[in-house]
Structure 1
């Protein structure tokens, strides 16, 4: 082996959060993204030579393998962050066997791993995915082992997996964001009874003995401690910062300006409004979504950054101290994108311009950069250990 970087392929690349996390250690041979505007954001930050903009269902993994100029077994890392909306808790209330077509996209992991046979797989989704039968099937096929630790299907690779439901705030992200992370390690020696899958109550898969490629927890700074180092300019609702065009906030109606002015700083909610400002639907007993119209708290972590992250009415997205919702830049920083990261909300690729809804969706759907980096670092260490074992004089730093 003699290469300057490890190799990677990324499926569902989105705005490029995972690419930002891995680009220093990995040569990204291919990234696939369906949405052409989101792909423009990716291109602004990571180039387009390796980017394929298409519906993944239309692509042949064998042709993608040829595109990368790799052979089966040569890929070091396959990163997969398929759409998660169908696995959300809202969908769970409808049915664990939700028929949302997007849920099938996790099986692209199998489709590509069977062709590329990567050494490692990094997979991220919502934590609630474990409650779905689709996930159990996914784990069983990906592992590809019988109860004795031998391959069930000889032509497919087998994987020793570990998956856990985690909170991003435990991995250097100033945000309470509950996710599922899975790391799969290709099995090259059989039998491997440690990797055999059993099933717990509720048909949730369990690994006999998960591998140990997992980072130690690293608690994030609080939201205030994290954001203060960026020294962002104070802006008003509807205003755009003159020196950072992504630092812009949605406008507020006069009524919502009154509401947020009555909301106590650092964590206040609509419960503190005078009655004349309350919405009729919120006056009823037992109304859920208590975080709607709330403020973030500088002394705590941000709530989950969602596609509605810049809208005051769609969650606890009110600024901790200013009378506005958080800006696009603040949302991107909470997702741990670098301050220099560029986004676009239009097909022309104009930097930090275009639809605020499209921009918010890109940011909210992204994998936090620091979260991905923390887990990818562990995979890199494992790859390094293999290199030093086979070639003691070759070390990647």
Structure 2
């Protein structure tokens, strides 16, 4: 007998723990996370109630590696949010065979077969649904007796201050399941202002003494001049012609208006990416200060709690490493929505 309908989860491709933290906040017990990036260990274990981090390639994981991590008689949830880059629209046309991440959903299917969890979840970019590997995955779940709910989710509808759209799948061998209803309407979307306005001001290249993650990347002299000429919600078209980059002068570059731009205070942010700390990488300019958003601001827009620790004591700030951890994460609040959906399903 399952005791008290308690769900225990294992998070494959766990990264820094965005999904895990959200599941824990919803009331689900998460015992472990697996990821190939050992750099995520500190953040994962420091913030997630004793969940253990295992540096292991999913292709090498066996059922016995997972089964002993589930408490006896708990309902088993297996989460597997595989890296999204192969399925992104920016990767279309790339040779699938040259990217070893494409078969990871098949490895997830293998582990589902071997572990036989009652519940399963995965999330990815919306374009994952255009690929055969995804449809094979869904068909495999259905043939194994799972009821499946899967659809695009617009994060602002669920209280996230970020215009991020993700494809979410939840599945159950217990019965019919669906994602909980959205909690917000357009007029009530959470904004950049609500999320980051109260953080201490920074200059480009500066780090806050009390919170090393509140660090802003440096800017060249010309980019300082450019950001001073940038308007919230505007683009490089707001600059005088002499400040425009050579690529913007070409016909092919005139449509790329979402780079070298500031966020707007009273709107959700753009999608936070792994390079969100760079002014030239998207609409990542601070709405008011002359810099790109800090790593802490990016983490808050990804709905990590303000106290979520990514840096071990004495560790230097690496924008590349931390940007990857933050940008690749499942937003914590989306993880909580998924967890609440499973809990409601069991009730």
For normalisation by structure 1, the TM-score amounts to: 0.81
Segment of structure 1 superposing worse, 60-69 or 172-181? 60-69
Report the Cα distance in structure 2 between the residues aligned to 1:339 and 1:371, rounded to whole angstroms.
16
Identify the residue that residue 139 of structure 2 maps to in structure 1: 140
Identify the residue that residue 89 of structure 2 maps to in structure 1: 89
Relative to structure 1, the CA distance from residue 5 to residue 159 in structure 2 (aligned partners, 3 Å threshold; closer, same or farther) is closer
Equivalent residues of 1:65, 1:115 under 8 A apart:
no
Identify the residue that residue 167 of structure 1 maps to in structure 2: 154
Deviations 1:172-205 (A, max 9, x none): 11111111000111157xxxxxxxxxxxxxxxxx
Identify the residue that residue 381 of structure 1 maps to in structure 2: 344
Counterparts of 1:33-72 in structure 2, within 5 Å, are: 33-46=35-48, 50-68=52-70, 70=72
Unmatched runs of 5 consecutive residues or more in structure 2: none
Cα shift at 1:70: 4.5
Cα shift at 1:48: 6.1
What is the aligned length?
340
Identify the residue that residue 362 of structure 1 maps to in structure 2: 325
Equivalent residues of 1:61, 1:111 under 8 A apart:
no
Identify the residue that residue 106 of structure 2 maps to in structure 1: 107
SS of the aligned residue for 2:103 comes to: helix
Equivalent residues of 2:147, 2:177 under 8 A apart:
no
Cα shift at 1:91: 1.4
SS of the aligned residue for 1:141 comes to: helix
Report the Cα distance in structure 1 between the residues aligned to 2:150 and 2:295, rounded to whole angstroms.
31
Identify the residue that residue 216 of structure 1 maps to in structure 2: 181
Counterparts of 1:15-30 in structure 2, within 5 Å, are: 15-24=16-25, 25-30=27-32
Segment of structure 1 superposing worse, 362-371 or 31-40? 31-40
Equivalent residues of 2:275, 2:324 under 8 A apart:
yes
Equivalent residues of 1:33, 1:54 under 8 A apart:
yes
SS of the aligned residue for 1:41 comes to: helix
SS of the aligned residue for 2:101 comes to: helix
Counterparts of 1:1-397 in structure 2, within 5 Å, are: 1-2=2-3, 5-24=6-25, 25-46=27-48, 50-68=52-70, 70=72, 74-94=74-94, 100-144=99-143, 157-186=144-173, 211-219=176-184, 220-228=189-197, 231-264=198-231, 266-287=232-253, 288-344=255-311, 349-350=312-313, 353-383=316-346, 385=347
CA RMSD of aligned residues (A): 2.1
SS of the aligned residue for 1:363 comes to: helix
Unmatched runs of 5 consecutive residues or more in structure 1: 145-156, 189-210, 386-397
Deviations 1:275-313 (A, max 9, x none): 111111111124243211111111211111000000111
Relative to structure 1, the CA distance from residue 138 to residue 5 in structure 2 (aligned partners, 3 Å threshold; closer, same or farther) is closer
Equivalent residues of 1:91, 1:98 under 8 A apart:
no
Relative to structure 1, the CA distance from residue 36 to residue 212 in structure 2 (aligned partners, 3 Å threshold; closer, same or farther) is closer
Cα shift at 1:132: 0.9
Equivalent residues of 1:246, 1:352 under 8 A apart:
no
SS of the aligned residue for 2:68 comes to: helix
Equivalent residues of 2:70, 2:76 under 8 A apart:
no
Cα shift at 1:47: 6.2
Quick one: higher RCO (CA 8 Å, sep 6+), 1 or 2?
A: 2
For the pair shown, which has the larger CA radius of gyration, 1 or 2? Answer: 1
For normalisation by structure 2, the TM-score amounts to: 0.92
Report the Cα distance in structure 2 between the residues aligned to 1:133 and 1:177, rounded to whole angstroms.
24
Equivalent residues of 1:293, 1:314 under 8 A apart:
yes
Cα shift at 1:351: 6.3
